[in-house]
Amino acid sequence: MIKAVLFDMDGLMFDTERMYHDSWLELGRQRGIAMTEALVAEMRGRNREGCVALCKAAFGPEFDFMELRGACVERMEAQIAAKGLPKRPGLDELLEELARRGLPAVLATSTGRATALRYLELAGVNRYFKGAVCGDEVEHSKPAPDIFLRAAALAGAAPGQCMVLEDSPNGLRAGAAAGCRPVMVPDLDPATPELAALAAAVVPSLREAIPLLDTL
């Protein structure tokens, strides 16, 4: 029986993964950096340190990750200021259902705490969350299980009693490695046979995750 739900954020709750993707590619192109779709995809779900390691492996130890990341964040913030923070379909309905049932929701995102909490507030959903474990608070980022193990403890539930909601391969692998019940809600990455085998379920939106509270 599901006793808690652990939420990824970017690409799962909010349509920000697409913003990150487009920003990395476009701003890399402007700087003459051969930022590829494959590299950006591999960065999805990882915290800052994990992304730094990937970029330095691809472009060399002198690569100025923080300059490019800063430009990407600035571009995204301008888009959010102009258009708001877009929610993924079904988010509000799922959070309302969890509140109705008294099931705790915990955020488990690779994004840093300051940005993550600001996004929850901007979207008006912070009141639904018991707490958060963020990417700047764990030693090993997704696909390591650390963040979900800590989030399960914060929720007060055993990992096997926690539904993990994820859109990225790294996040899904982390949820499975933690011993949770991972559910994939695909965004930019499709549910490949490998990912579908790791997942307890694959659903098209967060709305379809609601019935799984009774069946997983």
Q: Does 47 score more than 90 pLDDT?
A: no
Write the burial class of residue 187 (CB in 10 Å: 0-12 exposed, 13-18 middle, 19+ buried).
Answer: buried
What pLDDT, on the 0 to 100 scale, is given for residue 100?
98
Confidence band of 17 (pLDDT split at 50, 70, 90):
confident
pLDDT of amino acid 45 = 82
Decide if pLDDT at 46 tops 90: no
* Reported CATH class of domain 4-14+86-214: alpha beta
Between the alpha carbon of residue 66 and those of residues 28, 52, 57, 70, 174, the distances in Å are 12, 8, 15, 6, 25
Tokens of 98: 């969890």
Residue 43 CA neighbour count, 13 Å, CB half: 25
Task: Return the higher-pLDDT residue of 43 and 176.
Answer: 176
pLDDT in the model for residue 48: 86
Taken in order 65, 66, 70, 71, is the CA torsion positive or negative? negative
DSSP category for residue 88: P
- The sheet that has 162-166: what strands, in order across it? 129-134, 105-109, 4-7, 162-166, 181-184, 201-202
Summarize pLDDT for 74-106 with one digit per residue, the tens: 999 999 999 899 999 999 999 999 999 999 999
Region 97-117 average pLDDT = 96
> What is the model's pLDDT at position 204?
98
- Kindly state the greatest CA–CA separation across the chain: 52
Using a 10 angstrom Cβ sphere, with 0-12 exposed, 13-18 middle and 19 or more buried, the burial of residue 173 is: buried
Model confidence pLDDT, tens digit, residues 197-212 = 999 999 999 999 999 9
The one-character DSSP state at 10 is: B
Query: Residue by residue, what is the 3-state secondary structure of 149-164?
Result: HHHHHHHCCCHHHEEE
Cα distance between residue 120 and residue 131, in whole Å: 11
